[in-house]
Amino acid sequence: LRDNRIELVRASWHELSISVSDVSLSDEGQYTCSLFTMPVKTSKAFLTVLGVPEKPQITGFTSPVMEGERMQLTCKTSGSKPAADIRWFKNDKEVKDVKYLKEEDANRKTFTVSSTLDFLADRSDDGAVVSCRVDHESLNSTPQIAMQVLEIHYTPLVKIISSNSWPEEGQTIILTCESKGKPVPEPVLWTKDGGELPDPERMVVNGRVLSISFLNKTDNGTYRCEAKNPIGRNSTEYVLIVHDVFNTLLPTTVIPSLTTATVTTTVALTASTTTSATATSIRDPNALAGQTGPDHALIGGIVAVVVFVTLCSIILLGRYLARHKGTYLTNEAKGAEDAPDADTAIINAEGSQVNAEEKKEYFI
């Protein structure tokens, strides 16, 4: 052996050792050691040189990628002997469905290995780390890795979150519109039943949050939140139903005023006074923040019944007073006061003019 890379390490009658530095593929082959005795004795050994694969590279990625587009990423490494093994990972999870290709290099001793990962881009892949791992026996259990961070653009994903699952009259509800997209969506748009918010004083929009105070039945409807970015737009809806507030005082304050009403002068006035006091004590449930009250339709029905009973009482009282306007005497009764008997009274009534000026008959 005559090469500057080969050095004699040990030489004795019992052992001959050499070292080869900067090993190359050309050093592969059969080596022979000879002992010049009579006869000559030899020993042979075959040296195998491994080809270390080059650092892999990932190609085929162009940023950004739109959601739904097909992506083909290729990982390639050269100079391996024997051929290296390539494995794909997405966020540390191995991907099995890949294509593998092995080609022999020009020196006909090493190999170029490539692998292709083919998949459809999804919004869940945004920010995912795709890695190509090359395993080879020459790497001493330390694989070579190439990585690529994916950037996927997609339309906004919209969701409405309510602060109150059972909204009641007089309360406040907060609707939060969560929108996630890439690029980041523009400020969201709130609408009600396909149009603008009808009451800006109570319906306040702050960024992605819609706050509705002093709820009432007019707030019932479908609220829509829409978000958009340069890729597209998306929206979602929330159906608001405002529920009644149960009032336990209603049966004891209103109904007695109806059950005690009678058609007499004294009771009719009492019923009218009680009804007025009861009517004035009922307040609008929307007058103050957080104040609740009975349903407007129920109050209107009760007030109408009270008014109807009061009017009937006044009419009956009027007719009673009109039909009993004082006392009067007919012509047949004239002179009956001083007559000793009925016959005399009749005779006095027909011909007598006594007290004619004092007692007169009126028709009302």
Residue range 195-210, pLDDT digits in tens? 999 999 999 999 999 9
Q: Are 76 and 112 in contact (CB under 8 A)?
A: yes
Give, in order, the Cα–Cα distances in Å from 288 to each of 168, 292, 300. Answer: 15, 9, 20
CA distance 188 to 228: 8
Among the three residues 115, 149, 183, which one is the final residue of a domain in this structure?
149
In a domain, 106, yes or no: yes
More confident: 270 or 246? 246
- 177 lies in a domain? yes
Q: Please give the model's pTM, rounded to 2 decimal places.
A: 0.57
In a domain, 142, yes or no: yes
| Count of the separate structural domains present in the chain | 3
Residues 86, 133: contact at Cβ < 8 Å? yes
Query: Do 97 and 138 have their domain in common?
Result: yes
Is there a domain that residue 10 lies in?
yes
Degrees, nearest 5: CA angle 188-191-196: 120
Residues 17 and 91 in one domain: no
Pick the range with the lowest mean pLDDT from 73-87, 211-225, 253-267: 253-267
Peptide linkage before 167 cis (omega within 30 of 0) = no
Q: Are residues 161 and 124 in the same domain?
A: no
259 is a domain residue: no
Q: Is residue 329 part of a domain?
A: no
Distance CA(154)–CA(182), nearest Å, equals: 5
Average pLDDT, the chain: 81
- Considering the domain architecture, whether residues 97 and 176 belong to the same structural domain is answered as no
User: Do residues 36 and 78 share a domain?
Assistant: no
The 3-state secondary structure of 115-143, one letter per residue:
EEEEEECCHHHCCCEEEEEEECHHHCCCC
Can you give the residue range of the structural domain that contains 176?
Answer: 154-238
> Residues 70-94: what's their mean pLDDT?
94
pLDDT for 15 = 87
Residue 22 belongs to some domain of the structure:
yes
Buried b (16+ CB within 10 A) or exposed e, 125-164: bbeeebbbbbebeeeeeebbebebebbbbbbbebebeeee
Of the candidates 225, 242, 172, 175, the residue with the CA atom closest to the CA atom of residue 202: 172
Which neighbouring-strand residues pair with 114? 76, 101
- 3-class DSSP state for residue 27? helix
Flag whether 272 is in a domain.
no
> Does pLDDT of 276 surpass 90?
no
Q: Tens digit of pLDDT for each residue in 1-36? A: 788 899 999 988 888 899 999 999 989 999 999 888
Q: How many other CB atoms sit within 10 Å of the CB of residue 53?
A: 26
Is residue 174 within 8 Å of residue 209, measured between CB atoms?
yes
CATH label of the domain that carries residue 192: 2.60.40.10
Q: What token pair was written down for 190?
A: 């709130």
Name the maximum alpha-carbon separation found in the chain.
Answer: 197
What are the tens digits of pLDDT across the range 156-173?
999 999 999 999 999 999
| pLDDT tens per residue across span 52-65 | 999 999 999 988 89
Of 238, 259, 284, the residue that ends a domain is 238
| Residues facing 6 on adjacent strands | 20
